[in-house]
């Protein structure tokens, strides 16, 4: 890499952060980013990510079922430190600061055979709010030719593990 190089990245998440919720993926974690190299070993850029899931939670004791569909957008500024070229491979790591913008559409229903309730149907999840995102990441990149490379990355964000391709201008 040289000072002033611009790199565009696109990836898909392999380990979504919603996996623990036993939900089903509608749109897998997708991310795009752009970075400019301020010198051969330091880049600054921005990223955007999106994912969408659906799931349900049944509480037999309360006689209710919650059905939800969650879509999440993450936008962030990224900075990274990159190793020198190691036979076509580079290792990098960095920090991201941004916004986590979830949107949850939730429906709570009485289970079949339950009595109509006069009170509010209980909910067993808390509402999702937008929040600041502070994240770290590490990755490795393999150069294919003068413009293209492939990479793998671990970190906290829309997915815990990502694979993708990059194009350098």
If pLDDT is split at 50, 70 and 90, which confidence band does 11 have?
very high
Average pLDDT for the chain: 89
Does residue 108 sit within a domain? yes
* Pairing mode of beta strands 89-110, 131-143: antiparallel
Domains contained in the chain, number: 1
Q: Spell out the long-range contacts of 126-130 with Cβ–Cβ below 8 A and sequence spacing 24 or more.
A: 128/70, 128/102, 128/103, 128/104, 129/102, 130/99, 130/100, 130/101, 130/102
86-110 tens-digit pLDDT: 999 999 999 999 999 999 888 877 7
Residue 38 belongs to domain spanning: 6-168
- What is the domain-level CATH number for residue 61? 2.40.160.20
Does residue 1 sit within a domain? no
Residue 52 near residue 104 (C-beta atoms within 8 A): no
The reply to whether the predicted model has a pTM over 0.85 is no
Above 90 in pLDDT, residue 78? yes
CA atoms of 1 and 38, how far apart (whole Å): 10
Tokens representing 69 are 């569909």
Does residue 81 sit within a domain? yes
Residue 94 pLDDT: 97
Above 60 in pLDDT, residue 124? no
If pLDDT is split at 50, 70 and 90, which confidence band does 118 have?
low
Q: Provide CB contacts within 8 A for 57, sequence distance 6+.
A: 65, 66, 68, 124, 125
Above 90 in pLDDT, residue 17? no
Q: What is the mean pLDDT of residues 40-51?
A: 97
If pLDDT is split at 50, 70 and 90, which confidence band does 140 have?
very high
């Amino acid at each position: 890499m040289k000072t002033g190089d611009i790199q565009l990245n696109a990836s898909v998440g392999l380990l979504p952060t919603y996996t623990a919720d036993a939900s089903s993926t509608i749109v897998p974690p997708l991310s795009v980013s752009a970075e400019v190299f301020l010198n051969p070993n330091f880049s600054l850029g921005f990223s955007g990510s999106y994912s969408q899931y659906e799931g349900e939670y049944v509480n037999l004791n309360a006689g209710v079922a919650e059905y939800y569909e969650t879509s999440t957008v993450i936008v962030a500024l990224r900075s990274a430190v990159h190793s020198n070229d190691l036979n076509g491979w580079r290792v990098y790591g960095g920090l991201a600061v941004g916004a986590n913008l979830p949107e949850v559409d939730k429906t709570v229903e009485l289970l079949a055979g339950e009595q109509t309730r006069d009170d509010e149907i209980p909910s067993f999840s808390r509402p999702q709010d937008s929040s600041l995102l502070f994240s770290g990441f590490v990755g490795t990149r393999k150069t294919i030719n003068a413009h293209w490379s492939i990479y793998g990355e671990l970190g906290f964000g829309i997915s815990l593990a990502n694979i993708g391709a990059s194009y350098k201008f």
